[in-house]
Amino acid sequence: MHTILGMMSDRTLRHLRLHQSILSDLAADFDRCAREYVGDKVQRHFTPDFNPDDGEDIFVIPQRSLDPQLVAAVNDVQSLGEVTSADLESGALRAVVGIKIGTSGAIENAVFKAIDRNRIIKRGILNLVCDAGTFTQIVNSALLIPEKTAMVFTAGNIYFENFRIASRMLDLSDVFEEATAPQVSAFLSHEKFKCGRQDQITAVMDSWCKKRIAMISAGNVLGAVTAANVVAHASQFDVEIKVVAEGGVEKIIFPEDRKGIKELLKVLNDDYLNSGLSGNKYETNSKVRKGSSATASAPSSQQEH
């Protein structure tokens, strides 16, 4: 038996209701992806400092369970909400997950297909579909499920090629060791930062901070963003990031207190998310409500601070 789910931007799961005529074809294709994803690629245990060659190497995390909320969703699909056209248009859909249930009732494999805005065709005057030789406007938004697979769970192992994409769909923070002292020093010395005394900063860091530094370094986040990008993203969650200009280039002023350090690391690690469905802002995992949409009834946090 197969179940096809939609994973939203806050990692909640929704039922992707499919017409019966395509369910079997789509399930068969997900099965093929599960069988062929690893192929003859070189399997490597995940290490943050290794960049796999595209199409030649693949990371493996052996004997790794799927996230509990995903397992719970599979076991009670009828209670899930459904992916809607509004979810597509808002960009709330993060991934499509095809899950095969074995005869024992356990998950046999799970195939994750990453979805971004380029995979959504919205209703609009310029978006046309051919019907019996005549082009007309599409009536509903369309979803293009990519051929490329982002991650596979099978035989108790998780396989992926890009950690940053995979970590948006599953919580993989437990695979990281703390960044070593030289790694922390290299991180603080990055050209995107204006850093004070490193010894004072590292003295207030705890294990959480050092693991996040390892995760951010593994994703090469600092190489892909500017200080302005970081400030703009952080402002959506009422997090203030200070910058200073040096030689005509803006640099992020690295905080010297633990609270400020954690807020910056959460921003860089994509730990803050917008829910496209509700418009609420969250910290991942803990579901701590952020920003002006917060209410008195917001869930309490279990996350370390």
- In this predicted model, what pLDDT tens digit does every residue of 190-244 receive, in sequence order? 999 999 899 999 999 999 999 899 888 877 888 889 999 999 999 988 899 999 9
Model confidence at 129, pLDDT cuts 50, 70, 90, reads confident
pTM here is 0.66
* pLDDT for residue 275: 54
Residue 283 has pLDDT above 70, yes or no: no
Residue 258 pLDDT class (50, 70, 90 cuts): very high
Q: Please write the tens of the pLDDT for every residue from 161-188.
A: 888 888 889 888 777 788 899 999 999 9
Burial class (CB in 10 A: 0-12, 13-18, 19+), 119: middle
- Looking at residue 253, its pLDDT comes to 96
pLDDT computed for residue 1 by the predictor: 80
Mean pLDDT to the nearest integer, 146-157: 92
Q: What is the 3-state secondary structure (H, E, C) of the chain?
A: CEEEEEEECCCCEEECCCCHHHHHHHHHHHHHHHHHCCCCCEEEECCCCCCCCCCCEEEEECCCCCCHHHHHHHHCHHHCCECCHHHHHHCCEEEEEEEEECCCCCEEEEEEEECCHHHEECCCCCCEEEECCEEEECCCCEECCCCCCCEEEECCEEEECCHHHHHCCCCCHHHCCCCCHHHHHHHHCCCCEECCCHHHHHHCCCHHHHHHHHHHHHCCCCCCCCHHHHHHHHHCCCCCCCEEEECCEEEEECCCCHHHHHHHHHHHCCCEEECCCCCCEEECCCCEEECCCCCCCCCCCCCCC
Looking at residue 231, what is its pLDDT? 94
Q: What is the mean pLDDT of residues 256-273?
A: 89
Q: Which residue has the higher pLDDT, 117 or 251?
A: 251
pLDDT of residue 286: 44
pLDDT given at position 281: 54
d(CA 101, CA 4): 11
- What is the reported pLDDT for 289? 46
Spatial contact of 145 and 114, defined as CB atoms under 8 Å apart = no
Cα distance between residue 129 and residue 135, in whole Å: 5
For residue range 82-102, what is the model confidence (pLDDT) as tens digits? 999 888 888 889 999 999 998
User: Residue 284: its pLDDT value, please?
Assistant: 57
Measured CA to CA, the distance from residue 300 to residue 164 in angstroms comes to 27
Rounded-to-integer distance, Cα 211 and Cα 173, Å? 8
For the record, the structure tokens of 121 come out as 């065709």
